[in-house]
Amino acid sequence: MRLLHNKTGQFVEFPDYQRAQPYAILSHTWNPKGEQTYQQLRKIQRRYGPDGSLRVAPNAVAVSSTAMPSSATIDITQRSFPAASRESEGGNLPAFWNDPRLSDKVRGACAIARANGYDLIWIDSCCIDKTSSAELSEAINSMYLWYNASAVCYVFLVDVPPGDSVEAMDSHFRASRWFKRGWTLQELLAPRNVQFLDSDWRLLGSKASLAQVVQECTRIDVEVLTHIRPLDRVSVARRMSWAANRETSRIEDRAYSLMGMFDIRMPTLYGEGQGAFRRLQEEILRRIPDQSLFAWTSGESIGVLPYVRHGSITFLADTISLSSVVRQDPERTGKPGVSLFASSPSEFGASHCISPLSPSSSVLSRSYPPFDYVQMPYGMRAQFLMIPADRLPSHRYYFLVLACQHVRRAEQLVIQLCYLGPRLHSGGPRRLSLPKLASARGGLLTMQASTFLATKVRVKTVYIPHYSSSGMPSLPRNPFASLESYPQRFWSVSATFSLSLAPRARAALQSQRYSVEIADRHDPGVWILLLSRNEQTLRIAFHAAPSDPPFLKSTAIASDDGSGRSTHSLLAVLEPDPNHSHEFSTAMRFRRLVLRTATGALWDLEVWSESKKVLFRPAHHLLVV
């Protein structure tokens, strides 16, 4: 940990933050025009000695008899520092503090810490070398601990003028930008001693004295703010809701700024986008058995599921727009639904009233499966309790029963409307997703616990697909409806077989800078699909035979540098689709083929086959989606 000595102006390195105590720490919102960086401050420090005095040139004559020797050093094992650190505030500070290049914020933060008897201070903008990805990652993973271990945290509110009436409903304090930034959430929660300062560095009050006002600004309970209730006794959904209306400059920071709040450590990978928040949620699942993580919605509130009883219970789902669900039915459109994992903290805005239930609770103990989540090549495998969703357009719609309750609705369980897609293979798990419009229009609901106990529920084994930044578009309901419009250059014809790539799949690949080629091998029944980008090439060979029943064997070989190879071979039996059966045409679908390349790219392919009688001879066409 690197801290700034606020007397000498020099950095002090500590191998362990616990050896640095006591130290002050600064919380602030960054200036959009930039803050003084580590490199800029180091450039200033080089002009001064370890004591903060101006370095004397070799041939210069010393003009001050009080200057300290330039050989003075700081020993991190000492609890006292050189003479400069023992000067009273009434004495002269070293020349370092008169340097005009020093930013007002660094100067002000050090002055307030110095005035309160702290020799060391940590300021994120200048104490981290952000040109080092390793140092930046370590700091991000340690930041919550550093704030928690500080003797005092000074919150500098640059947009709150002196004399502001903090408790007034229209105060600048309540409207401060500091309450809307992502990183400042952990800077509020972690330290015990938080002091709020106005734009002139004057004290407005402490976190303890202003706890009620801060609660009204953040919806964080006073008991949590004052450390009476520890964070691990607050549901995951409620903690996420605190970040719902906060923003960060980088999309990845919406996840990284929350790691400390869940006691999570994970590598930081700038450039992964929303994948960072997906990784954070998966890490939370591994550590915290709390299914409120899945209790999110893009809507503004959580609905209530109505029902009627006619011998058996029928769920009406009137709060869900049935016509919207029908229009977006994955079975009709071929488009995948929404992941059970949220895409950002913003989707937890309505989830602040959700708390977890133990699987051994009186409501769930009869049948709830264990909270086991297993990472598989195709995604995360899990088991959930589900109730069939009546009056929806397909038997594949269910209400997923979460082990959660709504704390403001007595005896109300939390459920999510979900859709179960086809199995990966015979006896395998089904793909779990949420209907697209339902997630924005009331897919998160509550139901009476007594109704749940009277309902026949089922345990379903499902998988949640891996995160994909740009998933490949799927095939429409009738994949051969517009076959004639496919460009001829994406066809490969051999004997009575042909192969083509769906236009949307081709467009999706080309948008990701992949070149697409279908190569003939002059071998009846064999086709090669080549996908390449930069140094990576994915070669997929399809071997088809017009046997009875017909079959397809697919071999995929991926290479990145010409030397490393990974191979995946799959024998898949065609599944007849009765919706496409015809006297002279039968469309059949192979089971989904999931491939992972040597470079870690994930490919999710779907192959359809159409068999027709052309002049009394069989003809087969393969369509890759």
For the stretch 195-250, pLDDT in tens is 999 999 999 999 999 999 999 999 999 999 999 999 999 999 999 999 999 999 99
Query: Of all helices (H) and strands (E), which one includes residue 517?
Result: strand 515-520
- The whole-number pLDDT of residue 375 equals 86
Average pLDDT over residues 105-130: 96
Average pLDDT over residues 469-492: 38
**Strand pairing partners for 398?**
388, 418
Whole-angstrom Cα distance, residue 43 to residue 529? 56
- Mean residue pLDDT across the chain: 76
State which of 417-421, 559-563, 578-582 shows the largest mean pLDDT: 417-421
Confidence label for 552 from pLDDT (cuts 50, 70 and 90): low
Percentage, residues of the chain above pLDDT 70: 64
Within 10 angstroms of residue 68's Cβ, the number of other Cβ atoms is 17
Asked if the model's pLDDT at residue 312 lies above 60, the reply is no
User: How far, in Å, are 112, 233, 331, 346, 411 from residue 470 at the CA level?
Assistant: 49, 36, 20, 20, 40
Asked if the model's pLDDT at residue 28 lies above 90, the reply is yes
Within 10 angstroms of residue 260's Cβ, the number of other Cβ atoms is 24
With 0-12 CB in 10 A as exposed, 13-18 as middle and 19+ as buried, what is 304? middle
* DSSP E strands, 454-496: 458-465, 491-494
Average pLDDT over residues 556-577: 44
Record the pTM: 0.70
- The whole-number pLDDT of residue 586 equals 44
- The whole-number pLDDT of residue 607 equals 54
* Residue owning tokens 């789902």: 317
Pairing of strands 593-596, 602-605: antiparallel
pLDDT digits (tens, 9 = 90+) for 340-389: 999 999 999 999 999 998 766 766 666 678 888 888 878 899 999 998 88
More confidently predicted of 444 and 394: 444
